[in-house]
């Protein structure tokens, strides 16, 4: 048997072992990366639950009508629609981690606008901003978790996304009964800042990196064969 054949056989055996379910370990890195990503899910839940518990305080302090507060409560869904529309493209352009950072810019800005708002303009702007972040989170978090976890536990890990949304929602329903609405908005900053800091310590999605590298190699190959027009079509 030639040396090349032995190398090929060794490679096949290695791939077989890697695909063996018993070899797919749940590492500390996978657990930590999942925890960091679902901090965004927790932000999602907090934002969703905020308008219900803050209604009485905001109406009394700022003198809003029922119609004005209804706009404040519902405008988050419009922000979410815009965020969802652009989420896939953004996640491919700047990466999964980059998208979570990008979303937190809007989430943090939104919470600050709400916390220090003196009129409906700032309230609505902040609510729309948090909604835009939620729209981005709704796509990028489950995708990131699915791309970093072993296939035999992927469903269980992606479930953490919905679990943390429910936890954020439940927390705000509980503490919203005795925390002032401005302080409640500032509390919403805690998971945002936690994710911004801890994102530095987790890897980018390996699948995204592999796809980006494969695309780069394909473009180089087309260019080297004079097929520049086809290479330019690959975006």
Write down the pLDDT at residue 16: 43
Q: How many CB atoms lie within 10 A of CB 230?
A: 13
Per-residue model confidence as pLDDT tens digits over 131-147: 999 999 999 999 999 98
Rounded distance, CA 192 to CA 39, Å?
A: 7
Q: Which helix (H) or strand (E) segment is 201 a member of?
A: none
Cβ contact 154:104 at 8 Å:
no
Name the 3-class secondary structure at 2. Answer: coil
Q: Which fold has domain 28-203?
A: Growth Hormone; Chain: A; (1.20.1250)
Write down the pLDDT at residue 214: 60
How far CA 27 is from CA of 33, 144, 149, 215, in Å, comes to 10, 16, 9, 29
Write down the pLDDT at residue 110: 97
Q: CA nearest 147: which of 18, 37, 16, 42?
A: 37
Q: CA nearest 48: which of 142, 198, 166, 152?
A: 166
Rounded distance, CA 118 to CA 58, Å?
A: 10
Ordered per-residue pLDDT tens for the chain, 235 residues: 555 544 434 443 444 444 444 456 788 888 999 999 999 999 999 999 999 999 999 999 999 999 999 999 999 999 999 999 999 999 999 999 999 999 999 999 999 999 999 999 999 999 999 999 999 999 999 999 998 888 888 888 999 999 999 999 999 999 998 999 999 999 999 999 999 999 999 888 888 777 776 666 545 554 554 444 434 444 4
């Amino acid at each position: 048997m030639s040396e090349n054949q032995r190398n090929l056989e060794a490679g096949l055996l290695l791939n077989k072992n890697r695909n063996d379910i018993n070899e797919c370990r749940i590492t500390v890195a996978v657990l930590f990366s999942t925890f960091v990503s679902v901090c965004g899910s927790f932000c999602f839940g907090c934002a969703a639950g905020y308008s219900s518990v803050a209604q009485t305080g905001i109406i009394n302090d700022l003198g809003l009508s029922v119609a004005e507060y209804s706009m404040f409560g519902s405008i988050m869904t419009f922000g979410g629609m815009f965020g969802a529309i652009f989420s896939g493209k953004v996640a491919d352009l700047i990466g999964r981690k980059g998208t979570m950072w990008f979303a937190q810019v809007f989430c943090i800005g939104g919470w600050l606008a709400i916390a220090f708002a003196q009129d409906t303009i700032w309230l609505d702007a902040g609510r729309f901003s948090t909604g835009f972040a939620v729209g981005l989170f709704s796509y990028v978090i489950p995708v990131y978790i699915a791309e970093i976890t072993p296939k035999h536990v992927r469903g269980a890990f992606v479930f953490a996304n919905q679990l943390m949304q429910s936890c954020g929602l439940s927390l705000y329903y509980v503490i919203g009964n005795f925390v002032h609405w401005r302080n409640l908005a500032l509390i919403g900053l805690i998971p945002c800042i936690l994710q911004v800091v801890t994102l530095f310590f987790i890897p980018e999605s390996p699948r995204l990196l592999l796809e980006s590298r494969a695309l780069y190699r394909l473009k180089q190959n087309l260019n080297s064969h004079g097929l520049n027009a086809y290479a330019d079509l690959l975006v």
